[in-house]
């Protein structure tokens, strides 16, 4: 119940766009299992055997897995991207050149193809899917951190700190990082729907999360062949992906406006 109090407190502080997004997301998490069953129930009761409508619960479990993939992979991506970008900006010169070239090279391979390639080497499964999004997600954050650091490094207060003999690591932690925080938060929030969409894409191709664990994308693919007779089986998993994406995008956009000091 602590979480709900925190989220209520957050709701009051943030402007409308962000709070709408969080609220939608919160409802999605809370009402997940029951809600999606209620969605499917009228259709299931009409046409399916009782055995077949376990799927309603499955739609809800998928959302937990998708959210887990979204959050964890972005935290890993942050863990790689932040030090990487900081190192590129702080050392500059040849180090910067090499680090940025590496990002450019990885970026020029389409993300989904890189995902399929990694999955074909490691095999499908929850952990490997996480790995895919950690690998494909950190470049954006690294670029962002580098850009921010480069512009912040020229600020007077950094010069002042250097003059009075503050060590490098302390300048980075106390002066540069706090000022980079808000764009990073926005970038991570917008990275989560990306990972969710990517996961459902991989699962849609049949190489995402392994069968005992449910996935929206996989369900969509499984029921694609039954689309003529039971259209809703493939329709609702897709709707859930779209709703989750919509909630996160709205939240990211709201946060962007809320954290932008120039507005």
Partner 1 sequence: MIPTVIIITVAVFWMLKLAPGDPLDLLLAGNPDISPEHVERIKKLYGYDRPIYEQYGRWLWQVVQGNLGYSRIYHRPVTEIIPDRLINTLILTGSSLIFSLLIAIPIGVYTALRQYSLLDYLFSFLSFFGIAMPVFWFGLILILFLSIQLKLLPPGGHYSLEREVGILTVLRYSIMPVIVLSLFSMASWMRYMRSGMLEVIHEDYVRTARAKGLAEGRVIVRHALKNALIPMVTLIALSIPGLISGAVLTETIFSWPGMGRLIYDSLINNDFNIAMAVFLIFAFLVAFFNLAADILYAFIDPRVVYT
Q: Min. distance of Cβ 249 from partner 1 in angstroms?
A: 6
Alpha-carbon distance 245 to 75, whole Å? 18
> Which residues here bind partner 1, judged by CB under 8 A?
104-105, 107-113, 116-118, 120-121, 123, 193, 197, 200-201, 204-205, 207, 217, 220-221, 224, 227-228, 231, 234-235, 238-239, 241-243, 245-246, 249-250, 253
Any alpha helices (H) in the chain, and if so which ranges? 2-13, 16-47, 55-91, 93-107, 111-122, 126-153, 156-163, 168-170, 177-204, 216-222, 231-259
Contact at 8 Å (CB) between 203 and 119? no
Contact at 8 Å (CB) between 38 and 57? no
Q: Angle at the Cα of 189 (from 181 to 141), degrees rounded to 5?
A: 55
Q: Mind giving me the DSSP string for 42-99?
A: HHHHHHS-GGGGGHHHHHHHHHHHHHHHHHHHHHHHHHHHHHHHHHHHHH-HHHHHHH
Contact at 8 Å (CB) between 10 and 254? no
Contact at 8 Å (CB) between 215 and 209? yes
């Amino acid at each position: 119940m602590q979480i709900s109090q925190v989220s209520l407190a957050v709701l009051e502080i943030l402007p409308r766009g962000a709070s709408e997004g969080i609220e939608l997301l919160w409802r999605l998490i809370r009402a997940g299992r029951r809600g999606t069953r209620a969605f499917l129930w009228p259709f299931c009761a009409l046409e399916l055997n009782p055995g077949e409508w376990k799927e309603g619960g499955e739609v809800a479990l998928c959302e937990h897995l998708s959210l887990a993939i979204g959050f964890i992979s972005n935290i890993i991506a942050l863990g790689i991207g932040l030090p990487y970008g900081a190192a590129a900006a702080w050392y500059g010169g040849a180090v910067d050149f090499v680090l940025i070239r590496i990002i450019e090279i990885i970026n020029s391979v389409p993300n989904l193809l890189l995902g399929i390639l990694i999955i074909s080497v490691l095999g499908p499964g929850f952990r490997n899917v996480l790995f895919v999004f950690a690998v494909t997600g950190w470049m954006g954050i690294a670029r962002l951190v580098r850009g921010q650091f480069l512009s912040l490094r020229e600020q007077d207060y950094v010069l002042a700190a250097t003059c009075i003999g503050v060590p490098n690591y302390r300048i980075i932690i106390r002066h540069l990082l706090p000022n980079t925080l808000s764009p990073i938060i926005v970038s991570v929030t917008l990275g989560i729907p990306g990972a969710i969409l990517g996961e459902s894409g991989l699962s849609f191709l049949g190489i995402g999360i392994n069968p005992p664990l449910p996935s929206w994308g996989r369900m969509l693919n499984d029921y694609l062949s039954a689309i003529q007779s039971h259209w809703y089986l493939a329709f609702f998993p897709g709707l859930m992906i779209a709703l989750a994406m919509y909630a996160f995008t709205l939240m990211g956009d709201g946060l962007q406006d809320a954290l932008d000091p120039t507005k």
